[in-house]
Structure 1
Amino acid sequence: MGESVPAHDRASPTTDRGPFELCLLGGFSLRDAAGQPVELPTRKCELLLAYLAMPAGRLHGRDKLAALFWSDRDEEQARGSLRKALSSLRAALGPQALGGDRDAVTLDPAALAVDADRLASLASNPAGIVEGAAPLWRYGEFLESRPSASAEFSDWLTFERTRCRNLAQTVLEGMALRLADAGDLSQAQSVGQRLLAIDNLREESHRLLMRLYARAGERSRALAQFQGCRELLKRELGVEPSQETVRLSRQIASDAASAGDAAVRPADGSGSPAARETAPSWPTERPRGLSIAVLPFAGKSDGEQDFLANGISQDIITELSRQRDFLVIAPQSTVGYGSGAGEAGIAARDLDVRYILAGSVRRGGDQLRVAVQLIDASGDRCVWAERYDRPAQDVFDLQDEVVRRIIANIDAEVRAAERESAARKRPENLDAWELFHRGMWHAYRFTRDDHQLAQGHFERALELEPGFSLPYAGLAYVCLSAVTWHFTTDVGQTLGAGIAQAEKALALDAGDAFSHVVLGRLLTFIGERPRAAHHLSMAIDLSPSFAQAYFGMAQLHFWSGRPREALHHIGQAVRLNPRDPLGSMFMTLQSFCHYWLDDFAAAEAAARRATALNARETWSRLGLAAALVALGRAEEAMTVIAEARRMDQGLTVASFDAVVGQVPDDLRQRVYSALRQAGLG
């Protein structure tokens, strides 16, 4: 036990051995499915694997990789070194782990379980934090003590370290809050101390510890924490603590009741619990929750870079303004603020917004790099960061592409942050806006219990604000989900109820893209394709970066017998939001499209990606089973169907047909025949 297995002694493909475990937080370690350490021959191989894994599935040009890791060698030598390193990785991980062609390389996401991915998953899933976060007590810096391969690699390393540090702070803070809610204040304080150790200049961490100490009755310790924070900020930065930190210290010093029990969870951006209680539940058509300011992007003094930086930030503001539920601060109001993330808190307070987008543009040779960070100022945390490296030949095409990607990610990440924020609050403290997002948080978990909770939250939101359109769309989505996930025995009645709710939503707000998408998908299921096409096209026109609108259009094309067009729209959806809550369904539909086109290997690969994204999904297993039968692997298909039946005991060909009965008959009969061969009755 514990003895390293040299890479050259391991030739089994990944699919036979199961996923490897790659740990990048605190250094580098690789273990096989049995838990045995796997040694790679060089540090460069380790760094290359880390780069390919963050994230896995992305296609990387070989020339770029060679320059990134062997910039000190000529082009031919660098490519030779890359080939040798990739060969070592294949020997270690199995021949199926790496894909691509002579020009590009990709790492199969199913080949590795990466601790940094687990960290990101925990940060986006508050309910799983306490159970899954224990290893983060020992959180270490991303690729700690690993030398950089080049200046470009150093930039990437800095970016990933910042991103992982922000994610760890989110997870540890959530863990501390949940432990405190459970009454385990001693453990909560220990987690809070670990959180502070990640960045001892972060005032939010100091405030959390102050609240935890106060709740435990340790007032003197809470005040000592404030004093230590004050001295540290003065010594290191030459500044005083923020008004929020000072106000909390005074509250604790006066022994106010809210400094104990009620103060462990701060009011979300409202300043005080009293202010939150008196705030209206739905004050305006544009809620403060989606308010955002785009700070001027930083370029270098180079005129072209300044021009591009200004153009990108202006285009982002223009496109965000098209989102009806975003309040976007005019660009004239953001002049004078720096582009760094450190300016976020100041700008957010001055401009009275919750979210800040900061970014920069940098040119190196014939490549342009655009880096962006989305900061939630209410918790002083980075909720999303990304970097875009593109050839600089056509600046205008580059600008259009990058802006589209940024808008899609902002839209997805801000809404995810709203769901997470609502999920953390006590139900009795939620207003109509928060109840809608709490409902969507449950709806996207795709379980029968969560389905019922989602419906209850949407109904409660309408009790508070009968004229609010989104909860009606949420109720329509609950109906759609009930049909998709077999939570109803009366498919026709449920689809009809969903259509009625979606139409109510659009009667209140005809410009909401989500409502159009839900109605379009419901109409697709009942075969009303022209109406479905109208609503899905409207959704794309209203919100060109909304991934689920393209998925809905893909479903419509598939239901209409056009699998190639469906694949195109699925590709659009995945590019716009690879982390969409419906991501597994994107891949499942992709699998059935490939099956229809007789590309059974691609159908299998897409179905396996879907099951990796959502282990509870049965649809992906139906696609996988059909592909395996077509590939002559009926025994494997029978195992897959047995697994699907364990998850959904009511799953039959008939229950499947109740949902997809409007799909062209020739495909349905092919799939049903394959599923029957795999044992589905």
Structure 2
Amino acid sequence: MLRLVTFAALDLSDALGSEVRAVRLQPKRIALLAYLTVARPGGFHRRDSLLALFWPELDDSRARGALNQALHELRRELGAAVVVSRGNEEVGIDSGQLWCDAVDFEELLERGEPEKALELYRGDFLPALHVTRSHEFASWIAETDDRLKRRASAAAVEQAEHSEAKGSLGAAVRFMRRAMRISPLDEGLVRELIRLLDKAGDRAEALNTYRGFAELLEVEVGAKPSPETQNIAAEVRARTAPRPTAPNTRSVRATAAPGPEPTGADSALGPRGLLHRMRYGMGLAGIAGLVGFAMWIGPGMRTPPLDPSKVLVGGIGNRTGTAAGDGFSDGAVYGTIQSLALSGIATPIDAGSVDPTWSEARIFQTSETSAQLRRLAKRAGAGTVVWGFFDRVGDSVQIRSEIVDVESGLIVDAVEATAAAESDREQVLDSFSQRVTGAITARIDTRFAEWEMGSDGSPSFDAFLEFVRGLELYLGRAGFLQPEGAIERFDEAFRLDPGFLTPKVWAVLAHDAMGEGDRADSLASSLADADQLALTDRYILNHWFAARDGRRGEALDEIRKAMVLSPRAEYMPLAVLAALQAGRPREAVRWMTAADTVTGWASHWGLYSASLAWAYHALGIHDLELEPARRARLMAPGNQYMLSWEIAALASLAHPDLDSRLSEILDMELTPYNKGQALCSAANELVGHGHRVEGAEMLNRCIQWDLERAVGGGENIRHRLSWSLIFAGRFGEARPYLEELAADRPNNLNVIGPLAVLEAAQGNRDEAERLDGFIQAYPARDSYWEKRKLYWRAAIATRLGDPQGAVRLLSEYVGEGQSFRGFHADLFFEPLWNYPPFALLMEPTG
């Protein structure tokens, strides 16, 4: 089930907990989803009401088109079953497909479970979400936040009263503190907390609570506590003994419960008073102002540590000499703050919220400006500063900005944009804010921090976002086995920023993984001559060309170069697979164990666990192999490739769970061929790791499975059956199947090869050598078939009693590096297993 978090943060994740960034980082789409999910009354909402709420500036036709597009994108990203329709005019959310904390919070309250509800309430509703030109939506957020805050406060007060009635003063104090955190300026709650602390005998903390509230009130509104609150504090201070225990005659629930707004003196401090105006009346600085206010460090207070993800936005100075340019400056600042806030990666802080005397009028192109902003950033704990100015260049307006590392004072990036005409300005401002966000994202995010080292500049953030989404799809749950959808994302990223060629390079890999070799070749050839290709992209492209041509060692060398430049970037999965395919499992383990599996690309790579299992299997460390093999199977249940690693690990150990796991696989909705493959693979691994009795029994199960399905079961089953019969020494039974296959496919190496092995095994040397000559002369059309020729000739030499010749052919086979998965348990080479040169050849080289 999808999860939408709206309290204290805004987050959307899928059933596996992975962030659905493509929706979350699009303000109107996530806003529409939140409204359809949370708005009251629940259920379906009329389309015309949504038009007025989200697209008031558009005429009816264009607004409907925008709504249809937004709904289409939500269905595409979340699944068609999430957003549902009733007729042509109403839409809603299927609550069985999407869980939301705000909805669950209110349902728990209505069921009479306030304590559970409070566990969900973590803060403001939809903080920092702003939809351009949609004032009604902003009002809906304010009203919903107010309602939820009142209900949360009421629930905490109710729990406090219930705890006090049971004699649990400690719990009562904790719940009343919780109510105060929700409504920090509610004097009724402060008085109740002071009373409870005094009743519990903690007079010192009661007075500390009063002093803290008085200081907060002074800072926030320049006011003093009411006489009633002052009198309670004075009474506690004057008394030498705790307040006598007495029943609570003053319920504070009314001040926190849903209902009419408070009036009189308390109204300015209530949920819809000052705090409401602070949050929703700050205009341009709404997002960053609140963050900055919370981080404000007064004189004499300790300077917080610098955090590069906190970005002080110093402003964009107007150097045009006209007041008309102020709107342009505001647009640039607001767009940058909005884009940074919605990135989910950076926290913007408006410089004016740290120092109210700061303004864009103080920005000039001088080192002193940068130094002043760095001082402000240090006060706020921000490790990054962005500032700039705009000026006229002929008839155009040009914006220039600098991104500065606060600690060193170095300019780490610069972004420019030019508007040639008034009509271009909105598009240019959007492009500017996107590029600033892209540059900062690449600086601070662990997945992207080193991406720019080989690049010629920052892409726009929206293009970068599409690229990232494409990578997540490409590397996702089933690894490189199911990259559908990734190519479309890569193409869209390139459309958004045609100078950003990295998505095209990854599209080459995705086309290749989809079996679209011709398209991959064509695209790779067009990119090979591109002058603006980033250095790391050049290495990736060279890696692909080498891998395509079977030059595995060279393919690994090229990916190593990319990893030197960007060791934590998205190239790690390519490096791991290149190392494994080149027979260097130790190197693959080093890459994987050094990777960030929490926030880095390893956390998105669907083949991470399978590849780690592969590496440990090749190294013979089967105890360590089992855990990642199990994780791989759980990540993609029913995926034959992922299942195979757990079977290999269990069989290598002759683990008692092997039979039960195979039984589960036989009950799955897999093809008969794939079910039988699990049995046959288990048999090979059992025999290959010395469990000969168990292996022989499993091989018989595999043969029996295929015998029962050989008639009408397809060519692949008969093919595998013939091989298994050879492994079992049942040569007479294998021959009819192989001869039938050879009659249908006389030029297929994977038919002629095992037929030649059968002839050698039965002592028909002349026929085996004739078929070996046929294979040697076979015109291979690519490197794969060249390798298959060497493989089958080595298998024939093995059965002809020529171990030296077999090892020589295998040495040629693995000369450029080759994956060793299966060789140690390949029953065609069983006579070589105790032959020292073969064992030496099979030993991993790195």
Shorter chain as denominator, the TM-score bin is 0.3 to 0.5
TM-score (normalizing by structure 2): 0.34
Point out the structure with max Rg over C-alpha.
2
- Relative to the length of structure 1, the TM-score reads 0.41
